[in-house]
Structure 1
Amino acid sequence: MIPWLTPECSFPPIEEALEEPNGLLAAGADLSPERLLSAYRQGIFPWFADDEPILWWSPNPRCVMRPEAIHLSKSLRKRIRREGFDVSFDNDFAAVIKACAEPRPGQPETWITEDIQQAYINLHRLGHAHSVEVREDGQLVGGLYGIAIGKLFFGESMFSRRTDASKIAYVFFAKQLQKWGYALIDCQVYNDHLASLGAEVIPRTEFKQYLDRYLDMPCTHSWQFDLATDDIVSSQ
């Protein structure tokens, strides 16, 4: 059994999350900015279908990416050099989260419901949620979004309408976060796509140590890319 949260309730300790399904911690409460930011600061995130209550998760192990560990394949380097994609921050957050919510092959339903979209748009307006856009000939073809707190970024979802467009968004993003001194990108749950870029899994106890160390570090940068394409493809 998991606790049912009212808007007044705090989250239980993440160590109380279930082993099966892995990481399920609580249900209920709301998607207010205060609730969401409190969740991320504790290593918790919402994930639920349209016909379910709000479900809160903290899986063990945790899938993460150290920005300096990003893997850029030779084929991806060539694609970035050859095709001249335009990459930006926070240019159209609403369009990115809407694209992430679109059905995918073999995945007709989405967890990025209308309520989720509005909740993260609210966080974006408050300066906590950020997007990366990849455009080709002016058209949005890929991107990602998530939450930044301190020197940690909590990734939520990505999309691609062209081959490798989401990978390009992620590579540019990780390289920029590395320059800004970010310690970790939270990828939540392992998948092969993230692993191909350099993601790994760590115990939840280790992930919690990152939270304790980096959440309250100040960030003085503006959310603008200041790396040239050559800086991306020439680095290791």
Structure 2
Amino acid sequence: KDFDVGKIYKKKIVLTNASYGVNFCRLVGISEWLKDFISIHFDPPGQMAAGMSCEVGVTFKPVINETLEGEITFMAQTGSFSVPLKCTNKKCILALDKELIDFGTHVVGERISRTVTLTNCGALGTRFKVQMSAGDSSVSRAIAKSSPGRMVGLLPENWCVCVYAYIQHFSFFLPEQLSRDALNSKSDLEADDAENLVEPSPEETPIEIMLGKVTEGEIGPFNSVKLQIIFIPAVPGDVRAEFVIMFDNSPCKPVS
């Protein structure tokens, strides 16, 4: 596992006669595509009494950086059997601890931060870079002059780091001397506004969801990196953003 090209690796296999009588064992061969990389060292022990064991030496000399799989085949008095072989090269195995960040409900002017952990479970390191998803050139929002609430988002089918937030609408209290008619009129206007979502132009949209200090760097083997997402609400309404993590290692697909 996690081999380096040019190095030599040796393993031992112990074969045990698990039958209740005398048995024998001989080597038949290995998978054809493994013969250039793997050699077998086995001296047939002759007749083996019940419970006796013998050893098989396996030497692996990798010359290509590819995962290899095959088997070693033996013949015994009770029939043939095989021992599987698998040689895996070093890989980046990347994962996120969460795919959805929901900031919940907050008021304008607050500063809230959440952390996402990027983990490399593989033996090969790589460089990473976090950026806004191509589908989200700007943070999308819909301003709704409605009562406070919370936006609920479903987890996307692809692996996405989505950020949802809802900015609480401020309530202003009118002086007691205002007539009941004025209060009713204002209530009707707010109800009408709640039904209409206003989509501001990109020039008018403030940057409310942003990344912390760590936006790129190196993630080593069996290591992790914490990425900070910061939310500073500026205008009441729902806010959504999506970020994608790119990697220098070509076999590593972007995580978004």
Same fold, TM-score > 0.5, yes or no: no
- Is the helix fraction higher in 1 or 2? 1
Tell me the TM-score normalized by structure 2.
Answer: 0.17
Tell me the TM-score normalized by structure 1.
Answer: 0.18
- Is the strand fraction higher in 1 or 2? 2
